[in-house]
Amino acid sequence: MSVPNSARPELVEGLPFAGLSRGKEGQGFDMLSPNGFRNQFPGLAGNWHYLDTAATAQKPQVVLDAMTQAGGADYATVHRGVYARSANMTLAYEAARRRVASFIGGREEEIVFVRGATEAINLVARSFPACGEKPRRVLLSQLEHHSNIVPWQLAGWQIDVCPLTADGRIDLDAAEAMLSSDFDMIALAHVSNVLGSVLDVSRAVALAKKVGASLLLDGCQAVPRLPVDVAAMGCDFYVFSGHKLYGPTGIGALWGKKGLLDAMPPWQGGGSMIDRVTFEKTTYAPAPTRFEAGTPAIIEAIGLAAAINYVAAIGIEAIHAHEAALVKATRDALRSNNAITLFGPEDAAGIVSFAMQGVHPHDVGTILDEEGVAIRAGHHCAQPLMDHLGVPATARASFGLYSTEDDVAALVRGLERVKRIFAQ
C-alpha cells in the first residue's frame, strides 16, 4: 500500500510506540538488581513469590505502556487505510514482524502472526501438503505438550512416539532407530514445559534430513531463555507464544522456510489473505499473508515487539545463566527434603518439577499459596508424560528473569510446612 506523506518517518525502520526503543542489547544483570527487575513488573507488587513463569510470564511496564499507546492515541486498523494513522499503524505492525524475525534469526516474509504456538501447530498440521494417498506420518515424543499432540490427531496424521532417556530427555538414539522415509514430519519440544530438558537440536535436524522429513520445533519454553537462530539451526518450522516471552496473550509466531510456506494452502479464509475473490473462484495472497485471515492482533503484535526489545536489552545469555543458577539452588535445596522426588535432568532450563510423597500436588500448591508462593500443580497439559512418569500430576516451579533467591527460599520454607502438615 502507499504511505501518505504525513506518516511519521521513524515508523519505517523503528517501532514507534512508547516502550519500543531497542536501546543497547545484552546489558545483562549488571544493569539492575533482580529486585530492580521485579519493580518493572506491576504483577509482582508486594511480597509475592511468582514461580509459574512457564505457564505465563508477568509483563513489564514497558510492554503495558506500548500496548496502551497502540490501543489509544495511535490506534487504527492496518493494511487498509490510506489515512496517516492507519499507515503509521501498518508500518508499526510490520516492524513488529521484522523484530520477531530478527529475534529468532529468520526473515520477515517467513513470519506468520498467530494467536500462539497452539494455532501455529494446528496451521502446519492442517496445511502441510499431503504426500500421495498414504496418511501423513509424524514422530512426536513422550514429553510433548497437548498442543503438539492433538492438532496432529485432528488433522488425521499417523503418530509415532519416541521414548525418553532415564533423565527425561528425548531419546534421539531411539528416534533414529524408528525413523524412515515414511515420515513426513518430526515435531518436538525445544525445551520441555514439565521437565525443562533441552533438545539436541543439531542432531534432531540431522535425523530429519536423513529421512527427508520436515522438523517442527515447539519453542515456547526456549525463546525466553535460550538463543534461537532458526537459519543456523536448520529446522523447517519454529513456533512460540508471546505470553511466555513477557509479552501479551493472543499473539505468537510461526516461522517456516519460505519454500514450505509457499507450498501450503491457507487453512482459514476471510479478509486480507486474498488476491482476488469471485463467487466462482478465489485466489490467495502469498505467504505469510495467506495465513493471516481477518483483522490481526495489532496491539498484541506491538506488545510482543516491546517484550522482545526488553528481553534483548537484558540479554538471553544473561537470563539463562540467572535462571540456571536458580534451578541449581532449588534442586540442591529440595534434595535435602526426603519426601520430595525430583523429575528431569540436572541442567533443566528454567523449570523444576517434583512430587511430595503422600501429598497431591494440588494440596502442595494450595498450601504454598497460603505462604505467598505461586507454583503450577497438575498434569501441565502433558498427560502422556505423566503416564510415563507414573504420577497423576507434578508440582512445578518455573523461573523468569525477575525471579530471585528469595523466591527459592520461600518455596523451600513452604515445602517444609507442607511436609510438617502431612506428617501430623
Return d(Cα 30, Cα 117) in angstroms, integer.
32
φ, ψ (nearest 5 deg) of residue 157: -75, 150
Return d(Cα 117, Cα 105) in angstroms, integer.
18
Task: Answer yes or no: 162 catalytic.
Answer: no
Length in residues, the chain: 424
Does residue 26 contact residue 318 with C-beta atoms inside 8 Å?
A: yes
Classify residue 79 as left (phi > 0), alpha (psi -120 to 50) or beta: left
Q: Return the residue matching grid coordinates 501430623.
A: 424
Looking at 131, 162, 220, 381, which residue is catalytic?
A: 381
Return d(Cα 373, Cα 404) in angstroms, integer.
12
How many CA atoms lie within 13 Å of 386's alpha carbon, on the beta-carbon side? 17
Torsion angle of C-alpha atoms 337, 341, 345, 346, degrees rounded to 10: 0
Q: What is the CA radius of gyration of the chain?
A: 22
Let me know the angle formed at the C-alpha of 262 by 260 and 264, rounded to the nearest 5 degrees: 70
Helix ranges, 197-257 (H): 201-211, 230-233
For every residue of 324-358, DSSP letters joined together read HHHHHHHHHHHHT-TTEEEES-TT-SSEEEEEETT
Q: Return the residue matching grid coordinates 536448520.
A: 234
Torsion angle of C-alpha atoms 359, 371, 37, 192, degrees rounded to 10: 10
Q: Which residues contact 221 (CB under 8 A, 6 or more apart)?
A: 54, 189, 190, 191, 192, 193, 196, 244, 349, 350, 351
> Exposure of 179 by Cβ count < 10 A (0-12 exposed, 13-18 middle, 19+ buried)?
buried
Q: Which residues contact 47 (CB under 8 A, 6 or more apart)?
A: 372
Return d(Cα 305, Cα 144) in angstroms, integer.
27
Q: Mind telling me the catalytic residues?
A: 381
